[in-house]
A and B are shown apart, each in its own frame.
Chain A
């Protein structure tokens, strides 16, 4: 196997691991906050339904955390195993955020263990709720630190390059790079948003399956409200991301938008199909929108792909991923808005089956948008692993065994994916809310 093949399979394996890990990681970042909110609302309203909600979410959360932990360990090691040249070069600079991520993870792991096994130890539920703060902080901060690493790969800074070695390293300058604020904010807000919609999907599904319990209605209303807030936040931050890209990675933005010619008052192209010779068909063109997205000014000049040589332009199919991500974001925001307003106005349709089916789709759709967004930003950085410094092809391992490792890990993720779905569904099907409420009252509560 030549080196080209090793590069190809290394990319494929990294993509597979990350795509799988992101599902559990996103849930892992968002759910602790949801559990905290549920328990807080439960204590404030003296409503045991919300406490039970926190309890049941936690039980499912443990399963996803386990898969998140083991796949996170996998990607952590694969960074060095598959991209040894990259780590040798950049390890000098990204070590600090990587290290801090482990601390955050450590912190979360300790308190999650304590939280799980002290449900009935404290008479005062508020004490127990306090344990969730380090869990939620640890979960969010591991996302913050790891996203800093990714942001650094997009806008490397905080060092000098001498004879192929990074010297004069300033760790904090590297961590607080230009891509960091928008990336971190977008990752956090979309993780909260996606987790909220996934929990909303669960609630909607139970209602659709015939349970008419007020517990599910409370859960649905709470999660839809949270989902709405964070989808608006995500959209606003997405707008900032556009401005960041126009300034620091114009070739990425131009490839997202199929913006070929540098021009003033640039239109935004939505949807469409790319034909030969940069001809775009069936697209929806919004005049001046790209200039507004990029610079906040309808007449501003936006750099097009004509300013770059062929070999630094990312693949143009990422436009479809961009459309997918943005469209889903808009759709789920609308659904949650309609649901929340409809519930406030006590409209009947919010509890109708056809609408619940729509609500049910928000969770899976949001997760799809997460995947699309990551593929978009990662492929949009090609051909660089460190933008402007190291090409992906030069970073990969020279080992001859990457293809068989790809098979090994594909098998592993299949087993973990199927296993976690089976365990999660069994867990809740065997012990529905009605049953658990009855049991708890039986205990003399």
Chain B
């Protein structure tokens, strides 16, 4: 395996990590706000707060890790994506900033106002939308390069069905992943009311998520045929992903083994995410940028990989400790301490 492939695989894995933890976070904020709107706040807010409080900061690091890593391994991405993404990325930063700080302000500063809960909850839905634009742009066709430099064609971007399919996919997946996780968490907490409500949300969002995912493949057929053909070649991976999806929905439907259901769900997204990533190979930005013509120097790649392994040696035990203390600690989950 070349350094380029190792680099992009590591980054893709971290992006996947961000997709899962951020989905749980964004979805939790949304369900929290939504339950306030329909007067069911008392049922699930306790569960959501107990989960979010110790991990909200860690979620953010996954994202920082990804974008620092991309620029490190592939410095030319800074030129292409940096120039063209100024506006959408800035909007995402502002939304993330509002979310992160108001979470801390309300939780620790006891700034209890319904307005903040709504702001927090609904801003969470705009962030996946603004971040997923990067995926749309990477398919090519929205950036023009001439003497004046790079420009993002906003009109083409906002009128493309591909854009909206990806946005809808990100929203439905966020809600599905989050609801499935929180169902499991609430069940561990022996909070039956919350489990039932969240289980309902999970089932409601499961099918829109899988339908929009299929829709994207259809969109790509006209937008980027090269990519589409590579996707079709990987049909068996998407098949595996779909089987995992059926398994997790079945378990949630039957109200049993929520833990296994969430594991299957993670597997479903992992397989699909990597199948998508592999089919995108070797392009970082179609057709301008591949992972080969933008790669950092070999010395730096080795240094980054060494730093990465050393860092993981430090991080994995710490993350494990965090999970053990808060996620898999019965007393904490049940709110006894």
CB-based contact A80/B307 at 8 Å: no
Contacts of A12 in B (CB 8 A): none
Contacts of B220 in A (CB 8 A): none
Question: Shortest distance in angstroms between B70's beta carbon and chain A's nearest beta carbon?
Answer: 9
Stretch at the interface among A273-281, A295-303, A375-383, A395-403: A395-403
B173-189 to A contact mask, C-beta < 8 Å, 1/0: 00000000000000000
Q: Give Cα A84 to B85, complex, Å.
A: 11
CB-based contact A103/B315 at 8 Å: yes
Stretch at the interface among B60-68, B222-230, B259-267: B60-68
CB-based contact A105/B61 at 8 Å: yes
Question: Shortest distance in angstroms between B289's beta carbon and chain A's nearest beta carbon?
Answer: 11
Question: Counting CB contacts under 8 A, is A91 at the interface?
Answer: yes
- The A-contacting residues of B in range 83-101, CB under 8 angstroms, are 83-87, 89-91, 93-94, 96-98, 100-101
Question: Counting CB contacts under 8 A, is B240 at the interface?
Answer: no
Contacts of A121 in B (CB 8 A): 337
A97-123 to B contact mask, C-beta < 8 Å, 1/0: 011111101110111111011101100
- The B-contacting residues of A in range 113-153, CB under 8 angstroms, are 113-114, 116-118, 120-121, 134
Instruction: Out of B55, B67, B77, B83, name the residue touching A113 (CB < 8 Å).
Output: B55
Question: Shortest distance in angstroms between B54's beta carbon and chain A's nearest beta carbon?
Answer: 4
CB-based contact B58/A87 at 8 Å: no
Instruction: Out of A70, A76, A117, A426, name the residue touching B100 (CB < 8 Å).
Output: A70
Residues of A within 8 A of B (CB-CB), count: 79
Question: Shortest distance in angstroms between B5's beta carbon and chain A's nearest beta carbon?
Answer: 18
CB-based contact B86/A99 at 8 Å: no
* B101 nearest CB neighbor, chain A only: A66
Question: Shortest distance in angstroms between A130's beta carbon and chain B's nearest beta carbon?
Answer: 12
Question: Counting CB contacts under 8 A, is B53 at the interface?
Answer: yes
CB-based contact A73/B96 at 8 Å: yes
Question: Counting CB contacts under 8 A, is A341 at the interface?
Answer: no
Contacts of B73 in A (CB 8 A): 95
- On whether A80 and B82 interact (CB within 8 A), knowing A70-B100, A99-B68, the answer reads yes
Contacts of A120 in B (CB 8 A): 337
CB-based contact B83/A399 at 8 Å: yes
Instruction: Out of B54, B93, B308, name the residue touching A114 (CB < 8 Å).
Output: B54
- The A contact surface, by secondary structure, is helix
Question: Counting CB contacts under 8 A, is B46 at the interface?
Answer: no
Question: Shortest distance in angstroms between B129's beta carbon and chain A's nearest beta carbon?
Answer: 17
A406-445 to B contact mask, C-beta < 8 Å, 1/0: 0011001001100110111011001000000000000000
CB-based contact A102/B61 at 8 Å: yes
Instruction: Out of B54, B81, B98, B108, name the residue touching A63 (CB < 8 Å).
Output: B108
Question: Counting CB contacts under 8 A, is B78 at the interface?
Answer: yes
- The A-contacting residues of B in range 284-337, CB under 8 angstroms, are 296-297, 299-300, 303-304, 307-308, 311, 314-315, 318-319, 321-322, 325-326, 332, 337
Contacts of B105 in A (CB 8 A): 63, 66, 419-420, 423
- The A-contacting residues of B in range 102-123, CB under 8 angstroms, are 102-105, 108-111
Question: Counting CB contacts under 8 A, is B76 at the interface?
Answer: yes
Q: Give Cα A62 to B76, complex, Å.
A: 36
* B315 nearest CB neighbor, chain A only: A106
Contacts of A412 in B (CB 8 A): 94, 97-98
CB-based contact B108/A62 at 8 Å: yes
Q: Provide 20 A-B residue pairs closer than 8 Å at the C-beta atoms, listed in order of the A residue.
A: A63-B109, A67-B101, A70-B100, A84-B79, A87-B82, A88-B79, A89-B75, A99-B68, A103-B307, A106-B315, A107-B318, A110-B321, A112-B57, A171-B303, A398-B83, A398-B149, A402-B86, A404-B87, A422-B111, A426-B109
Per CB-CB distance, the 8 closest pairs between chain A and chain B, nearest first, are A91-B75, A95-B72, A66-B104, A423-B109, A87-B78, A84-B82, A398-B149, A80-B82
Measured CB to CB, the residues of B under 8 A from A are: 53-55, 57-58, 60-61, 63-65, 67-69, 71-73, 75-87, 89-91, 93-94, 96-98, 100-105, 108-111, 148-150, 296-297, 299-300, 303-304, 307-308, 311, 314-315, 318-319, 321-322, 325-326, 332, 337
